[in-house]
Amino acid sequence: MKNAIVTGASSGIGYAITKKLLALGYKVIGVSRDIDEALFGQYNFKAIKCDLSDEKQTNSLVEKLKVEDVDILINCAGFGKFAPHEELDTKTITQMTFLNLTAPMLLTNATLRSLKKNSGYLININSIEALRSSKFAGVYSATKAGLKAFSDALFEETRKSELSITNINPDMTESAFYDDLHFDVSDDENAKLLASDIADAIEHILTMRKGAVVTDYTIRSLHFGIKKKPLKT
């Protein structure tokens, strides 16, 4: 049985991907700040609690993963804060950069030899913001563009191996990502993505002929829509 690691597995896209992988017969290690084995009710699921925006916790996880036999690494954990750059505090900038960009690079570093040996898959759940420039998204977009550049360069670096590397760039996806933001996905079903859409893309990537690699997998909603939340008083 093949082994997968999914970060951000406790909710949203990471949760949907984990469910998909378990259904496909993989053993999954799910990483999140708040997660336990009972979440999926399957013996093939193992939970590791880790705050990937915290350098000390992440480095501790890296040491654990170095001894794991890994076939798939899916870096999904991330968060965004959208505001004029001068209004972002230092902690937000530092944590967003570490979680969205540094942590995936560290986890990849820890598992890369195993992934290459096993003809595995490295999949980074990126964002449509990696491909465009949006106001109030400077730091978030920079982290996602950086993650895309890392993935693209690593693909070229490892091309003589049997490792497949893919960026998935979703449009706005219904999830807890927007819980603390001042906007949310649209109520229009055609103006948003569902977490299951991203999980379906994972299945597509894993079932393709190994000799063909989709290095960038961009998923857009059919319509454009956004919902502004009422201002807090």
> Active-site residues: which are they?
140
Judged by DSSP in three states, 170 sits in strand
DSSP strand pairing (173-174 vs 216-219): unpaired
- What is the distance between the alpha carbons of residues 209 and 92, in angstroms, rounded to a whole number? 41
Residues facing 217 on adjacent strands: 168
Are 129 and 144 a contacting pair, CB within 8 Å?
A: yes
Computed over its alpha carbons, how large is the radius of gyration of the chain? 17
E strand or H helix that includes residue 64: helix 55-65
* Exposure of 188 in the CB half-sphere (CA atoms within 13 A): 11
Are 29 and 14 a contacting pair, CB within 8 Å?
A: no
